[in-house]
Amino acid sequence: MELGFLGLGQMGSAIAERLQDAGAHLHLFDPNKAALAPFVAKGAVAHGSATEVANAARIVFACLASPAICESVARDVAAGSAVKLYVEMSTIGGPAQAKVQKIVEAGGITLVDCPISGGPKGARAGTLTVITAGPPEARAEIRPWLETIGKNIFEVGDKPGQAQLMKLVNNLVNAANMATAFEALVLGAKGGLDPDQMVNVLNVSTGQNSATLTKVPKSVLTGSFDYGSSLTIMVKDVMLGLKEAEALGVPMWVHGTVGQLWRFAEQQGLGPADFTSMIKVLEGWAGVEVRSRG
């Protein structure tokens, strides 16, 4: 099966690996030529543009960094001669998704809204959460490929944009969990509690959440700050979620404050760093670190 794939960043490359290992003959484009090399070595075809990929494959997947890039790439894809189905895996929000849909549909291409959750590690393990929205026949055509990258696949509707909204709901909860867990752990560390023991208590109590279960033990207690996603990406997703809430007339008292904290961390120069680095802002204010003592 000839598949196109656009965007070989941390998430994109991990997803493309799974697709290639499942038997897809990949047609690829990414401005970073070094990212293409491992795939070409295994038989993939590197192209010089997104349009060239869309000239070679009926189904094209995209996993890109921002709404602006997604819109630009969609225009290139719409000029392709072979592509009939465009799978937008990027997290860009409803308004940008609508622009992408309009662009590709003008070229006779069907769009499936298909954001994913679980990070590069989950992509490589095939355990991502995949959220899809789009015409039923299009969802059915890509589902076998989605099953190679995802453990949980949710079809949330026939209208592109609904999957984007679900992904932003998830990411808002994730961002709030991290912010509140980091803040409370800094409090405990300032008062003399052992960071490892605090996490152990939380993870068998009502304070348990994804931050305490995975992010803090792996990347904060160890001081590695290497969970796999940049702080800037988290800020982007939170801001997209708040814009969706504003458009729908939904007050966001808590998440508005969470968004301010994440933006402040980015303004302190932590944007390119791993998103778990946000705790450093809170640690700096309190004059304490949340690290294993062992």
CA dihedral 182→186→192→198, nearest 10 degrees, is -10
Can you give the chain as a three-state secondary structure string? CEEEEECCCHHHHHHHHHHHHCCCEEEEECCCHHHHHHHHHCCCEECCCHHHHHHHCCEEEECCCCHHHHHHHHHHHHCCCCCCEEEECCCCCHHHHHHHHHHHHCCCCEEEECCEECHHHHHHHCCEEEEEECCHHHHHHHHHHHHHHEEEEEEEECCCCHHHHHHHHHHHHHHHHHHHHHHHHHHHHHCCCCHHHHHHHHCCCCCCCHHHHHHHHHHHCCCCCCCCCEHHHHHHHHHHHHHHHHHHCCCCHHHHHHHHHHHHHHHHHHCCCEHHHHHHHHHHHHCCCCCCCC
3-state secondary structure 164-184: HHHHHHHHHHHHHHHHHHHHH
Burial class (CB in 10 A: 0-12, 13-18, 19+), 12: buried
Q: How many Cβ atoms from other residues are within 10 Å of residue 52's Cβ?
A: 19
- Which residues does the annotation mark as catalytic? 167
